[in-house]
Structure 1
Amino acid sequence: MKINIPTMLTWLRILLIPIFVGAFYWPENLRKLSAMPSHEVNVFITVVFAIAAITDWLDGYLARRWNQTSAFGAFLDPVADKLMVAAALIVLVEFGRVGAIVALIIIGREIAVSALREWMAGEGQRSSVGVAMIGKVKTTVQMIAILFLLFWDDIDLGALGVFPTQLWGHILIVIAAFLTLLSMAYYLKAALPKLRGQ
């Protein structure tokens, strides 16, 4: 396994997962798991998740720019992404910030599309189910929604008023779930000729 900066960033993203999940269960929250975390905990978790999300973009960008792509990196990167999103959604469900159905749609799609890509790769046609624009839009909306829902508290913008992160987090996560279904349909359609052949 060749270690380079993009791969290290991917590993960092994985290592950040237990940190932002564990912060929800800091001693003050262990007294009552259904209690809402404090504002400070929300801010900390949001910052940690934001750092992880930035590494998601940065590791791929650096790997391409520095020509440091590898088979292991191509395997590890999507695994890290899915672990990060799944962990965040599960915690958000537990604290009542996301509906279980929305979380199941998003996590289920990630598992299904990953399995589809692995199968298509085994058939030598991975490129036909490569990342499409709708998938990128879905990921962007999903990440912003999760950040809002992790932060949770409204943001005081002074003279501009108050930005309702809860409201926009809920709106965007529903949009992300809808885009999730659309993107899954897109990938299934792309793989349909091969599926029919089986």
Structure 2
Amino acid sequence: MWNLPNILTLLRILLIPVFVVVFYLPWEWKHITAASIFGIAAATDWLDGYLARKLDQHTPFGAFLDPVADKLIVSAALLVLVQVHATLLFALPALVIVSREIIISALREWMAELGKRTSVAVNYLGKIKTALQMIAITVLLAADPTKHPEWDILGTILLYIAAVLTLWTMVIYLRAAWPELSSMPDSQD
């Protein structure tokens, strides 16, 4: 369980409170420092997956924790950014991204229970969506919107593109799971 990829995933989770505290510090360099912490966390997302494949260190713990860590760091970043950008224009893509992550996580868990997890495995477009989302969030964190509105506009445009890709990949995953979803008898919990 305690291999390098899993340690990197845990590091990503441990960076979340550090990131949030730094973001709220009354300090001139808080934006670039918070963005750097987020960027390091985003890089560990790629690195832990690469190392798990390269070193053949896949574990059930890592398979569980990696997507959780991703969703936690992205959600934390979007929460602090929504406070800074307290507008519908900004809240909308943030809501789309967080909602999609919850829906697809639940879908993957349910499909895994049916033994069909591979039908909703991460695809190439999902990887592009994640990369674009991480870049957009890093840009938005790095720039103080009052001092650098051009970077803020760029980050918001990138976030909207990521939100569109988020919806697109959600449709792909739901279509892949539709035969299972539509064949289940009606029941209520």
Aligned to 1:16: 15
1:78 corresponds to which residue?
67
Tell me, yes or no, if the aligned pair for 2:24 and 2:30 is still in contact at 8 Å: no
In the alignment, is the contact (CA less than 8 A) between 2:6 and 2:48 conserved in 1? yes
Deviation at 1:56, TM superposition (A): 0.3
Q: 2:95 aligns with which of 81, 104, 111?
A: 104
1:178 to 164, 168, 178: 164
Shift, 1:152, TM fit: 1.4
- 1:133 counterpart (118, 124, 128): 124
Report how many aligned residue pairs link the two structures: 180
2:149 and 2:49 map into 1 onto residues whose CA distance is: 32
Provide the rounded CA distance (Å) in 2 between the counterparts of 1:163 and 1:114: 34
3-state SS, counterpart of residue 29 of structure 2: helix
1:21 alignment partner AA: V
Report the aligned-residue RMSD.
1.7
The offset of 1:197, in angstroms, is: 1.4
* Shift in Å, 1:96: 1.1
Task: Report the Cα offset of residue 24 of structure 1.
Answer: 2.1
* Partner residue, 1:167: 153
Cα deviation code 1:45-85 (max 9, x no counterpart): 01101100010000010011101100110000000000000
For structure 2, which runs of at least 5 residues remain unmatched after alignment? 185-189
Letter in 2 for 1:121: A
TM-score, scaled relative to structure 1: 0.87
What is the 5 A alignment of 1:1-198? 2-26=1-25, 28=26, 38-96=27-85, 99-153=90-144, 164-198=150-184
What stretches of structure 1 of length at least 5 have no aligned partner? Answer: 29-37, 155-161
Q: Give the TM-score normalised by structure 2.
A: 0.91
Moved over 3 A (4+): none
Query: Percent identity, aligned pairs only?
Result: 54
